Amino acid sequence: MKPRATGTRRPRKTRFSVTFSEGASRALITVGGIGTIAAVALIFVFLLWVVVPLFTAPTVEAAERLSAGSLEAPRAVLIDEYQLLASTLDADGTLRTFDFASGEKIGERKPLEQRPSAVSLSPEGRDFAAGFEDGSVRIGRFGYRSYFPPEAELAPELRAIEDGVVVRYEDGVLQRVQDGALRFQGIDVELSDPLSMRKSTPIERIAHTARDDGMVLCVWTDGGLIFVETEERTNFLTGEVVLDLSETELAYEPDPSRGTPDYLLLVGRGDNVLLLWEDGRLERVDVRDPESASVVEVVDVVPADGEVVTALSFLIGKSTLVVGDSTGAVRSWFRIKPEAAGTPDGTVFVPAHRFGSTGSAVTALAPSPRSRLISVGREDGTVQIYQATTEALLVELEVGPDAIRALSMSPKEDGLCVLTAADEVMRWDMDPRHPEADLTALFAPVWYEGYEQPAHVWQSESGTDEFEPKLGFLPLIYGTLKATLYSMLFGAPLALFAALYTSEFLSRRLRTPIKSIIEMMASLPSVVLGFLAALVIAPVAQTVVPATLVSFVTLPLALLLGAYLWQLLPQRLSIRWSGWQRLCCMGLALPVGVLSALALGPWVEGLLFAGNIELWLDGQRGNGVGGWLILLLPLCALLWTLFGGRALGPWMRRRSANWSRHQCAVLDIAKFGVGIAASIGVALLVSSLLDGAGYDPRGSYVGTYVQRNALIVGFVMGFAIIPIIYTLAEDALSSVPEHLRLASLGAGATPWQTAVRVIVPTAMSGLFSAVMIGLGRAVGETMIVLMATGNTPVMDMNIFNGFRTLSANIAVELPEAVQNSTHYRALFLAALVLFAMTFTLNTLAELVRLRFRKRAVQL
């Protein structure tokens, strides 16, 4: 064999070091790749881990039962926070306490001393008011009390109690708790002295509610209503607390044929009195001003004939009244404020929710003391627990054959206590989980208390238990999409055109520096952009709203006009000047557009927007024509362009075939002018017609101006997504094989024709994925929307209104969400939704890119 130039024969065996590094690098790459996938998967799994408990079913488990002996007429059953004690309250005011551990009665008292003629218990059964035959009232509070008695004072056998063991002590129980201390748990009653009222007729019905400055009462006595406000006063000398009553006899004329109402209730903070008769007639008396109180509304809460109200209860907050009747129907009612209420006080009492279908008669209703759960006890011995807002049935129990007399939910909502007609007290351990955040509540419109109709609402902050968290995701998703849409509307075309310009029209020498500069924009922290938007751009834009609007028209017009004027140049000149001179002229069009917008702004404002655009947007003055005009003008211009291109173009071309270049240019300018005039004319005509037909653009795409709005965000976030879209798009365009460009140019196509007909279609996959990745960025962008929107979770398309995105919402609320609370998990769900959105976008982008790349490979 001929020796090779190197003098040695080429070794056929691969060297060990080569094989080794091959294997090592392969292993490293595999580990890295799998690691990345695993990391993403782990994030996903973690999010799921936190979110899944939102959707797990509530649990309930029978725990203890005891016999209460024989009760006369039990009004209520109560259970303490640690679920050690149960208490029953009889109609005669007897309070009996039982101990679950021993199953025995450990105390019985009669704090009221005499039998009350009327009692009112707050829904969570903690404060109450009682009226007596002699016309006096007593108000008070009773509840469980726990304290740690000093061990030294206790008997030795008590000191020896072991962990978890419950021992009776006085009228309560002792229990050694986790940190070793002995805790006493017992019932405690605070009671005012009998307060005599002006009238001493027997009190037949009484209602009470708590206000910040004291209890408010309403009593039915002597066939009339008396409204009582109490005020605590401390005697400075004795230190005694005295209660002052201020009574107002309400000007309520009872219907003598109806007699005493069966139930008397005070709504909320005591602004309405409800009188309810057994047959379902409910009269609502407005007592905001007791002096001039009057019946404002009468409704029938039991629509079925001959059926009667058998149980009723307020939900926490005393705004929603839950009524159970003898048909077994349970409905909840609250007041709403519709536009055409038709009642003197502008509110209407509506049956908003209905729980389950009718069944056995309702005998007891008990709300949860901390959320919007309502437990329903029935004649046939079944108990259901519903979420009062979503109407979801959480738990259904078959307690036994006996009717349910009373029931209550423990303060921590972890237990349910039931008193049956057989005087048995039973307890269940339960865990309702997160009933206020099921799929309906998250994604479907929900009728919240006080809302006119079912709505999507996000309002998670919960200062008090009375506040109902509203976890509708749609406003957030909507806000995310709105931010994305408006920023893409602004950023994507700009980025794509910039990419097209650099790759197809800019000389190669300038291309690299310009590309680097635009890419450097990406390194601008978004918090800086957000800051600029919120503190610089938003206030400035507010002062020039009309000019900003007008600039959307004048800027393109100035550029187009410049282009048409350029055509007027003699051909030799225009070709010779096609370099920097043309660029300068293009640059000149921009300030011209901006300046004319500034100059025209006030004039347009006066003409179209009744002189003040913010008031106009607010709907306070002017008519809809101006808004329609601004909205329709671009549309008309587009239609004109299409019409001009399709219909008029060939005809004009035929006519002007032999014309000189100059003549053609003049014709073009004329066409342009006519086009503008025609667009404005058509837009004005259609606007007037639309306005005449009663359509007003305000309230949909335009509306009340908020300083930090979607327009500002769209503009600034556009800047954030421009670099990424630009870079990817430019790469895609420049990777189109050069020979295609040559082929097209060689066939006599202009660079623009080449770009539009050959380069862009060929690079479509890349352009598409650039836009999609920009979209992904816009969806997940946090800082800018956090700072430059008002973060109001509203759902409207109004470009001048703010919004709240999923990401900003997480950033704002996660720090203050209690770990593992519904709110916390809902925020993680928001993260998951966001993750899913960006994941879908990016996957879609990748799939499309791969599909198109197959085509590109063949080139």
Partner 1 sequence: MEERTIEIRPPGVASKEVPRMMRSQAGGQEPAGIPESNATLGGLFEAIEQDRKFETVVHDSARDDNPVLEIQEFRLWYGEAQALHDVSMICPQGKVTALIGPSGCGKSTLLRCVNRMNDLIDSVRISGDMLLNGQSIYDKGVDVIELRKRIGMVFQKPNPFPMSIFENVVYSLRIDGERDRRVLQEVCEQSLRGAGLWKEVKDRLDSSALALSGGQQQRLCIARAIAAEPDVLLLDEPCSALDPIATGRIEELIEELKGTYSILIVTHNMQQASRASDFTAFMYLGRLVEFGSTEDIFLQPKLKETEDYVTGRFG
Please report, as ranges, the residues that interact with partner 1 according to CB under 8 A.
507-509, 571-572, 575-576, 649-650, 653, 737, 739-750, 753, 757-758, 761-762, 855-856, 858-859
Please identify, using beta-carbon distances, which residue of 686 and 856 lies nearer to partner 1.
Answer: 856
Please identify, using beta-carbon distances, which residue of 741 and 825 lies nearer to partner 1.
Answer: 741
> What Å distances lie between residue 358 and 309, 377, 446, 459, 705, CA to CA?
13, 13, 22, 33, 49
Please tell me the distance from the alpha carbon of residue 471 to that of residue 467, in angstroms, as a whole number. 12
Please identify, using beta-carbon distances, which residue of 371 and 762 lies nearer to partner 1.
Answer: 762
Please identify, using beta-carbon distances, which residue of 114 and 753 lies nearer to partner 1.
Answer: 753
Q: Which amino acid is located at 507 in the chain?
A: S
Please identify, using beta-carbon distances, which residue of 295 and 848 lies nearer to partner 1.
Answer: 848
Please identify, using beta-carbon distances, which residue of 543 and 858 lies nearer to partner 1.
Answer: 858
Please tell me the distance from the alpha carbon of residue 731 to that of residue 735, in angstroms, as a whole number. 6
- Paired tokens of 250: 């309400």
Strand-strand pairing, 458-459 and 470-471: antiparallel
Minimum Å distance from CB 855 to partner 1? Answer: 6
Please tell me the distance from the alpha carbon of residue 102 to that of residue 100, in angstroms, as a whole number. 6
Please identify, using beta-carbon distances, which residue of 635 and 859 lies nearer to partner 1.
Answer: 859
Minimum Å distance from CB 504 to partner 1? Answer: 11
Please identify, using beta-carbon distances, which residue of 159 and 739 lies nearer to partner 1.
Answer: 739
Minimum Å distance from CB 647 to partner 1? Answer: 12
Side-chain-side CA neighbours of residue 833 (13 Å): 22
Q: How many CB atoms lie within 10 A of CB 523?
A: 7
Q: How many CB atoms lie within 10 A of CB 675?
A: 18
Minimum Å distance from CB 746 to partner 1? Answer: 4
Minimum Å distance from CB 643 to partner 1? Answer: 15
- Paired tokens of 358: 């009718």
Residue 729: φ, ψ to 5°? -70, -40
Please tell me the distance from the alpha carbon of residue 693 to that of residue 685, in angstroms, as a whole number. 12
Please tell me the distance from the alpha carbon of residue 423 to that of residue 404, in angstroms, as a whole number. 9
Minimum Å distance from CB 571 to partner 1? Answer: 7
Please tell me the distance from the alpha carbon of residue 810 to that of residue 621, in angstroms, as a whole number. 38
Q: Map 763-820 to HEC letters.
A: CHHHHHHHHHHHHHHHHHCCHHHHHHCCCCCCCCCCCCCCCCCHHHHHHHHHHHCCCC
Minimum Å distance from CB 457 to partner 1? Answer: 51
Q: In terms of residues, how long is the chain?
A: 859
* Cβ contact 388:372 at 8 Å: yes
Query: Helix or strand or coil: residue 502?
Result: helix
Minimum Å distance from CB 845 to partner 1? Answer: 20
Please tell me the distance from the alpha carbon of residue 196 to that of residue 208, in angstroms, as a whole number. 16
Minimum Å distance from CB 739 to partner 1? Answer: 4
Minimum Å distance from CB 560 to partner 1? Answer: 20
* Cβ contact 745:754 at 8 Å: yes
Query: Who contacts 587 (Cβ-Cβ below 8 Å, separation ≥6)?
Result: none
Please identify, using beta-carbon distances, which residue of 155 and 857 lies nearer to partner 1.
Answer: 857
For every residue of 551-572, DSSP letters joined together read HHHHHHHHHHHHHHHHHHS-HH
> What Å distances lie between residue 124 and 209, 313, 471, 580, 591, CA to CA?
12, 10, 24, 80, 68
Please identify, using beta-carbon distances, which residue of 164 and 737 lies nearer to partner 1.
Answer: 737
Minimum Å distance from CB 669 to partner 1? Answer: 20
Minimum Å distance from CB 565 to partner 1? Answer: 19
Query: Helix or strand or coil: residue 461?
Result: coil
Question: CA-based Rg of the chain, rounded to a whole angstrom?
Answer: 38
Please identify, using beta-carbon distances, which residue of 410 and 762 lies nearer to partner 1.
Answer: 762
Please identify, using beta-carbon distances, which residue of 408 and 744 lies nearer to partner 1.
Answer: 744
Please tell me the distance from the alpha carbon of residue 483 to that of residue 318, in angstroms, as a whole number. 39
Give the end-to-end CA distance of the chain in Å, rounded to a whole number.
42
Residue 361: φ, ψ to 5°? -55, 145
Minimum Å distance from CB 576 to partner 1? Answer: 5
Please identify, using beta-carbon distances, which residue of 103 and 761 lies nearer to partner 1.
Answer: 761
Please identify, using beta-carbon distances, which residue of 234 and 663 lies nearer to partner 1.
Answer: 663
Minimum Å distance from CB 648 to partner 1? Answer: 13
Q: How many CB atoms lie within 10 A of CB 218?
A: 28
Minimum Å distance from CB 5 to partner 1? Answer: 22
* Cβ contact 418:404 at 8 Å: yes
User: Which is nearest to 266 in space by CA: 237, 295, 286, 246?
Assistant: 286
Please identify, using beta-carbon distances, which residue of 425 and 733 lies nearer to partner 1.
Answer: 733
In eight-state DSSP terms, residue 361 is P
